[in-house]
Structure 1
Amino acid sequence: MSKLTILANVFAKNDMIELVKTELIKLIAATRAEPDCINYNLHQDNDNQTHFMLYENWQNREALLAHMNTPHFKQYLVATEDAVESFTLNEMTSIN
């Protein structure tokens, strides 16, 4: 299978924006250090500060699954359990 692209959209609760942002930022260095992470980029919507988007590329789906089992990702889930309004994850494959 070819490289896997992830678009993850995280919507923080209105009163939890800074907490979610802080916890997402904590993920960056550890995730980028994972062996099969190609890139991991965090964005915040200019018009809707509750909306964070992660653009990620992984060598394959197995690498993504391994990432989801890392201590730093599990810690993020615990820290933001009651702070996230909604979350979507799209697994995509480049066609060009």
Structure 2
Amino acid sequence: MLTIVANIVAFPDKAELVKTELLKLIDTTRAEAGCVQYDLHQDNDNPAHFLFFENWESRALWQDHMGNQHLKDYLAATEGAVAEFTVNEMTRIG
């Protein structure tokens, strides 16, 4: 099992655009092979900060997800709107 923690920080004036585009990813991704959990969160104090908490059956299946068209569409739609993006690949240890 692979856990992904993805932080997306939009420019403040682009937060609603980024949120709208992130929400579009959820149903398609949850239907993908290997997706166990795919939850989007928004920071209570900074509405421009979003976090995906994901669990995948394997790194290979997550890598398949990363190459899918809906992620390419998201990147095109949010070009210039995201100030910071980090991804951590993690393993549950407890």
Q: 2:57 aligns with which of 53, 56, 59?
A: 59
Q: Which amino acid aligns with 1:44?
A: Q
In 2: Cα distance, 1:81 partner to 1:63 partner: 25
Once the two structures are superposed, what CA deviation does each residue of 1:20-76 show, in whole Å capped at 9, x if it has no partner? 000000000000000100010000000001100000000111111100111111111
Structure 2 counterpart of 1:94: 92
In 1: Cα distance, 2:71 partner to 2:61 partner: 13
Matches within 5 A, 1:49-88: 49-88=47-86
Unaligned runs of 5+ residues in structure 1 are none
- Identity among equivalent pairs (%): 57
Structure 2 counterpart of 1:17: 15
**Could you say what secondary structure the match of 1:5 adopts?**
strand
Runs of 4+ in structure 1 deviating by more than 4 angstroms, as ranges, are: none
Unaligned runs of 5+ residues in structure 2 are none
Q: CA RMSD in A?
A: 0.6
Q: 1:6 aligns with which of 4, 7, 13?
A: 4
Aligned length: 94
